[in-house]
Amino acid sequence: MTEAQLVRKITDALREAGCWVLKLHGGPMQLSGMPDLLVIRDGKAYFFEVKLPGKKATKLQHHRIDQLRGHGAVAEVVTSVEEAERWLKL
């Protein structure tokens, strides 16, 4: 499975569970290192950096996760649908 396939699998599962999910795409108008997914559930923002098992987030990605946490969002690296669901308490 590729990382893109895992992102799609997580996105589909969370939408099916009733979450609002947006795939964030990198580009010139976006901050570098932003997590892959923005998820809204019960009025709370969750940001998930999706990695294949055994892969690690970059230093910049960890920095962005720390920034988001500093603003009250849940921001985590996830490697499976089940891990994302645990953070959302589904």
Does the pTM surpass 0.75? The reply is yes
| Structural domain boundaries in the chain | 3-88
pLDDT tens sequence across 32-54: 999 999 999 999 999 999 999 99
For residue 35, the Cα-to-chain-centroid distance in whole angstroms is 5
**Between the CA of residue 8 and those of 2, 21, 56, what are the distances in Å?**
10, 11, 19
Looking at residue 64, its pLDDT comes to 97
Q: Which amino acid is at 77?
A: V
Q: Quick check: 48 and 76 in contact, CB under 8 A?
A: yes
Per the structure block, which two tokens stand in for 21? 């999910």
The CATH architecture annotation of domain 3-88 reads 3-Layer(aba) Sandwich (3.40)
Looking at residue 44, its pLDDT comes to 93
Angle CA(73)–CA(75)–CA(78) in degrees, nearest 5? 150
